[in-house]
Amino acid sequence: MARRIAAGAAYGGGSIGLLGAAAVGVLLAEVQLAKRQVGGGVAPVPPSADGRYGVAFTGPAEPLRLGLLGDSTAAGQGVRRAGQTPGALLASGLAAVSERPVDLRNVALPGARSDDLERQVSLLLADPARTPDVCVIMIGANDVTHRMPATQSVRCLTTAVRRLRTAGAEIVVGTCPDLGTIEPVYQPLRWLARRVSRQLAAAQTIGTVEQGGRTVSLGDLLGPEFEANPRELFGPDNYHPSAEGYATAAMAVLPTLCAVLGLWPESDRLDGARRENMLPVAKAASQAAKEAGTEVTGARAPWALLKHRRRRRLPASTEPHPHPHPEPGGSTRLDHRPDADGDGDGNGTPRHAWVRRPSGRPRE
């Protein structure tokens, strides 16, 4: 199914239906019940975390430029402090690993669907002098909840990846989370949400890898860990992650973010104990959608590499403070940067991918 969705996205196919008409009435009733319960709390407006991280590493090397795109998860909705957002956590971690400052620019929009990525990419690429070195995209949940056709969703994502890759940026996509773990969602809607989320995540993986990007599955991060600890890993509205939830997701994405920039040790040997494997990209995508933290990387066509990287504990992030940042033309914009201690074209179309799986335990 994921391959059919990706093919439909690439060649202009329409929506691929998953439900029989007999199930529609029950599902619509459960959707309305879930909507009344989700959002019972109030998710605060995500704080801005744009600015420079790791200024203690300032030296002759230019700062790395990190762009974040996507929906409320990428924006950090559900937390009140800038240092708790995924962008701030990833920028701090990337600065610590690279020992270089990192300039973060987050253009993610709460409530965004994949068709908003065109606007977000245009914002990031508006100034050629500030083109990101690497971008993280986290998108898909609102596509599922708003019943956006999967083929359209994947088409929008692959177009965004292609534009950013053409501009010279490396890409890491955090695929659609498993919406079947949201606490107020009941059966059979829970089963359907899980199935549709995983199919979209797998199709996103195929489309991204074929455009030269890498993906990290977020599905099971909103799966066993979130399901077992809903009060700790979900925010006050029972829908968006809490600070602990965002830290868990960022810790899974960070190794791939570093690897795509050549900052993470790579090996040509597959680790059988970690269930790493070389598979056709569709099979790799399907397996990755079932296990959080799994990376899929395009290899020689038509293969992909499935990897489970060891997670690295994120550095403690401090609250950023306003910092004047000159804009083109001499104007000044107030960005945020953390405290000075730093806490705070290859567009081939492979069909197979490497898959790496996480060890499940962070490395100190």
- Residues that are catalytic: 72, 237, 240
Residues with Cβ within 8 Å of 128's Cβ and at least 6 positions away in sequence, in order, are: none
Angle between helix axes 2-11 and 281-290 (nearest 10 degrees) is: 120
Distance CA(77)–CA(324), nearest Å, equals: 25
Among 169, 261, 174, 271, which Cα is nearest to 222's? Answer: 174
User: Cα Rg for the chain, rounded, in angstroms?
Assistant: 19
d(CA 112, CA 70): 7
Q: Give helix 189-210 / helix 281-290 axis angle, nearest 10°.
A: 140
**Main-chain phi, psi angles of 353, to 5 degrees:** -145, 150
CB atoms within 10 A of CB 211: 24
Residues 171 and 134 sit within 8 Å (Cβ to Cβ)? yes
Task: Give, in order, the Cα–Cα distances in Å from 37 to each of 13, 88, 183, 340.
Answer: 35, 30, 9, 42
